[in-house]
């Protein structure tokens, strides 16, 4: 039995739509429909009840799905164990715009692709808010999302202390309204910074926003503003600010999220590899 037909069946059954299954499989809808027709002809059974809006599994389809789910998992494990180089596809991965984090993950990504030359990993760096939307819209397969560590919560991946940065001679005593530099859009670090200032009763204003971490650091080095960034991305310890007017900032940590509850095996393998690499680095 052709496993290509079974994979098309599994994808249609999982998402409940021929068109969506075709998009996820990078195939035309007619191709996927042809696969299902061939499978139904081979098994002499109707697998889906189709309407103009959706499709539902028949009793035969439910039974087949049980077997196919187990079978494909076994096949994926065999292929990964014995011939990872044959696995292919494109993985769209979202990562935070943090230099220290990407420098840790870049060699891991390179090794992963070297072992699987048919796999392409397309990396998008940016805000966790935007990555969450891209996951929901299907523009990313997986992303490492940043979030603040809650009280009593055990950090998941790559915990980082947020710190205030500015020029050592920045006059925090006489500057009544603190000027802030931050990433444009729904930036977690900016939100945590102004929330902490608001709670401490310290007035502030946004004077510089841009799309990159380097832009923020440039604004800080010029004396234009202060900012909140992960401690590991502070280029110089002398830029770390400690002052009574500046409230304590939280620790942030990361977690991987996927666009689908059951992502393709190649995506699962990548996330396992990245997760293990980050845990290894974070281990005391």
pTM of the model: 0.71
Count of the separate structural domains present in the chain: 3
Domain range holding 190? 158-251
Long-range contacts, stretch 211-219, CB < 8 angstroms, 24+ apart: 211/183, 211/184, 212/97, 212/183, 213/97, 213/98, 213/99, 213/183, 215/181, 216/181, 216/182, 216/183, 217/165, 219/181
- 153 assigned to some structural domain: no
CATH number reported for the structural domain that contains residue 70 in this entry: 1.10.10.10
Task: Give the pLDDT of the chain (284 residues) as one tens digit per residue.
Answer: 788 899 899 989 988 889 888 877 778 899 999 999 999 999 999 999 987 677 899 999 999 999 998 998 888 777 766 766 666 788 999 999 898 888 889 999 999 999 888 889 999 999 999 999 999 998 999 999 999 998 888 888 899 999 999 999 999 999 999 999 999 999 999 999 999 999 999 999 999 999 989 999 999 999 999 999 999 999 889 999 999 999 999 999 999 999 987 787 788 889 999 999 988 655 44
CA atoms of 37 and 214, how far apart (whole Å): 54
Residue 190 and residue 241 share a domain: yes
Residue 75 and residue 91 share a domain: no
- 201 assigned to some structural domain: yes
> Which of 87, 90, 99 lies closest to 140, judged by CA?
90
Length of the chain (residues) = 284
Residue 137 and residue 12 share a domain: no
Residue 140 and residue 18 share a domain: no
- 151 assigned to some structural domain: no
Q: Which two tokens stand for residue 173?
A: 């005593």
Residue 276 and residue 141 share a domain: yes
């Amino acid at each position: 039995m052709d496993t290509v037909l079974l994979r098309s069946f599994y994808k249609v059954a999982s998402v409940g739509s021929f068109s969506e299954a075709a998009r996820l499989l990078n195939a035309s809808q007619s191709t996927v429909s042809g696969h299902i027709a061939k499978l139904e002809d081979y098994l002499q059974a109707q697998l889906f009840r189709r309407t103009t809006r959706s499709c539902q599994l028949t009793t035969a389809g439910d039974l087949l799905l049980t077997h196919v789910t187990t079978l494909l998992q076994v096949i994926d494990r065999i292929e990964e164990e014995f011939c990872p180089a044959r696995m292919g596809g494109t993985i769209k991965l979202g990562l935070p715009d943090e230099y220290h984090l990407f420098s840790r993950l870049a060699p891991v990504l390179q090794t992963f692709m070297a072992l699987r030359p048919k796999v392409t990993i397309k990396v998008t760096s940016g805000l966790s808010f935007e990555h969450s939307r891209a996951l929901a819209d299907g523009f990313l397969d997986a992303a490492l999302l940043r979030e603040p560590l809650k009280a009593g919560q055990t950090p998941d991946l790559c915990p980082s202390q947020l710190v205030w940065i500015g020029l050592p001679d920045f006059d925090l005593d006489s500057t009544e309204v603190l000027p802030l530099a931050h990433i444009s859009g729904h930036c977690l670090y900016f939100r945590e910074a102004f929330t902490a200032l608001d709670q401490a009763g310290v007035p502030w204003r946004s004077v510089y926003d841009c799309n990159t971490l380097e832009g923020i650091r440039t604004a800080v080095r010029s004396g234009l503003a202060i900012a909140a960034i992960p401690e590991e991305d502070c280029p110089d310890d002398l830029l770390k600010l400690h002052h009574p007017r500046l409230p304590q900032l939280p620790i942030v940590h990361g977690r991987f999220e996927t666009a689908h509850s059951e992502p393709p095996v190649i995506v699962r393998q990548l996330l396992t590899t990245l997760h293990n690499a980050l845990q290894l680095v974070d281990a005391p």
